[in-house]
Amino acid sequence: MSINAMYIFNGINQLNSFTQFIENDGWKIEKQLLKERVAQYNQKDYFIMMKSKFNNQKLSFWELKNEEVITWIDTMLLMRRLMVELFKKGVDADKILIIMEYPLIYGNHMRSDYLLVYDRLIIVLEFGMFNQDEKRSEERYTKKLQESINYRQIIGNLVCGHVSVVNYAMIYLPEFDRINKKVIESNIEHNSKELFLLSNFINHNVKLQESFSAINQLNIIDSSK
């Protein structure tokens, strides 16, 4: 595949296989500052591997910040959960191509967090973390939403009109306080609800795509008799 991106996963099984280190290492979305988390995890094999891969592929005009690697792993954890939600809804998650850190063509060196591709559907997915100690959650969401809209428009201007390009932004919360060794249950519940809503959005758009298939169109004709 000639698509230029950091990682491309052909469905849920490839994603889960690659991100098994998340389970093995007991990774948690921590409330500590990103720079503190970098200091804690920057010697981990997977941290070094992902940073090296990004730099070797020269995916960005700008220097990679170590904090970005932490957010990659956080969102990979969320993507694992999202795929489970889609599976529960009956979506064939092995038919979803998951493209991570996609540098937009003609996008002024911008990168999309994830593109989810299903048949003639492209979902531009942006994640943003909001620490509960911050005071500007609405501004954070608005920023990520606008980014996803911008990326959708850039891609939409370049693909065939028969391809549907939609966007979604999800803000997630930290789930664990490493210093006090405390699970933040309310934030876990929040993230679960947000992933449920995201899975509904994806499921809706996937079903729209499937309704245009030849066999489903014939079924619709037959049901109108």
Q: Are strands 182-183 and 176-177 parallel, antiparallel or unpaired?
A: antiparallel
List pLDDT tens digits, range 206-219.
998 888 777 776 77
- Name the DSSP class of 163: S
Q: Give the per-residue pLDDT at 142.
A: 86
Using 50, 70 and 90 to split pLDDT, how confident is the model at 97? very high
List pLDDT tens digits, range 120-138.
999 999 999 987 555 566 7
Q: Give the per-residue pLDDT at 141.
A: 83
Average pLDDT over residues 25-47: 96
Find out whether 175 and 62 touch, Cβ atoms under 8 Å: no
- Name the DSSP class of 104: P
Residue 24 has pLDDT above 90, yes or no: yes
- Say which amino acid occupies 80: R
Q: Give the per-residue pLDDT at 181.
A: 95
Average pLDDT over residues 42-58: 94
Q: CA 101, CA 114: separation in Å to the nearest integer?
A: 6
* Stretch (H or E) spanning 10: strand 7-10
Hunting for tokens 């979803």 — which residue is that?
96
Per-domain residue ranges of the chain:
7-223
